[in-house]
Amino acid sequence: MTTLITILFFGIAYGMILYLISVGLSVTMGLMGFVNLAHGVFAMLGGYATVTFMNRLGVPFLLSLAIGCILVAALGFVLERTLYRRFYGRSELDQVLFSFGLILVAVALVRIAWGPLAQPIQLPNYLKGQVTILDLALPTYRLALVGFGATVIAGLWFVFDRTLFGARIRAAVDDRAMAQSIGINTSRLFAAAFGLGTGLAALGGGLGADVLAIAPAYPLQYIVYFLIVVAVGGLGNIKGPFVAALAIGLSDTACKYFVPEVGSIFIFVFVFALLVWRPNGIMERRRGAS
């Protein structure tokens, strides 16, 4: 019983990280129709920024996390205005080649700046050790990860469901032409949504730096998982990817514990079967729905 609860806890923590990184990709792909394979680059940069501010400059963890998110969100905004927008409406092959090239450039630059080895994060003392809950010892860092992730997700859902900005994004995802006809500046909306998505990716990268190692190969190593979350959750919504991320986090954690020789094969077989059943994801947004 203790083993199952521990796997459940670790799987949820892992799923939280996957969701924070992937949700921005779901929104940008659904909103802009852009196949952005380079989304993991922004998570990697968030991780590097957090680790660098903490380890080299002695900046506190939460402040490092915030600075990293702001810097990466600003970078995402600039890249959207200068590069990404030139590929809107282009073929998927053009978008894939562009974003994959961006990955290779980012990997090379990161390798030059930080070297080929993974950058360990030095967690503050209040995130080390274990916390005992109902006679069950749980890692403090992962407990904080679940709590912090849940808080951010609640805020994100509020923004998308209860604010004018969220309503405009949902309108543009459902019908971009109609959104433009009623006066929504979709160009500005794209840039803001892209900056938000990259900022969330940076948050997930920095927050999960002790779980997903920060190394130059990061965007290539984890992009499949981010894309799986988006494909299973459905494009253009933020709740489907949450369910998908938790399912993948729990499944991957359980597989690595019970059948480590199988690795991640079960995940890919499961995703393949699921997408045969529901090719547009488990919670596809209905176009034109109110």
Task: Flag the least confident range among 68-72, 77-81, 133-137, 160-164.
Answer: 133-137
CA dist 214 and 252 (Å) reads 19
Q: How far apart are the first and last CA of the chain?
A: 44
Average pLDDT, integer, range 208-212: 88
pLDDT for position 216: 94
Give mean pLDDT, residues 89-115: 93
Q: What is the pLDDT of residues 43-55, one digit of tens each?
A: 999 999 999 999 8
Q: Check: CB of residue 48 under 8 Å from CB of residue 119.
A: yes
Helix (H) or strand (E) holding 132: strand 130-133
Please check the confidence at residue 67 and state whether its pLDDT lies above 90: yes
**What's the pTM?**
0.87
Which residue is it, tokens 């190394």? 215
Instruction: Name the range with the highest mean pLDDT among 25-34, 63-72, 220-229, 261-270.
Output: 63-72
Residue 86's φ and ψ, nearest 5 degrees, are -70, -15
Secondary-structure breakdown of the chain: helix, strand, coil percentages, each rounded to the nearest 5: 70, 5, 25
Residue 118 backbone zone (phi > 0: left; psi -120 to 50: alpha; other: beta):
beta
Instruction: Inform me whether the pLDDT recorded for 110 exceeds 90.
Output: yes
Q: pLDDT > 90: what percent of the chain? A: 30
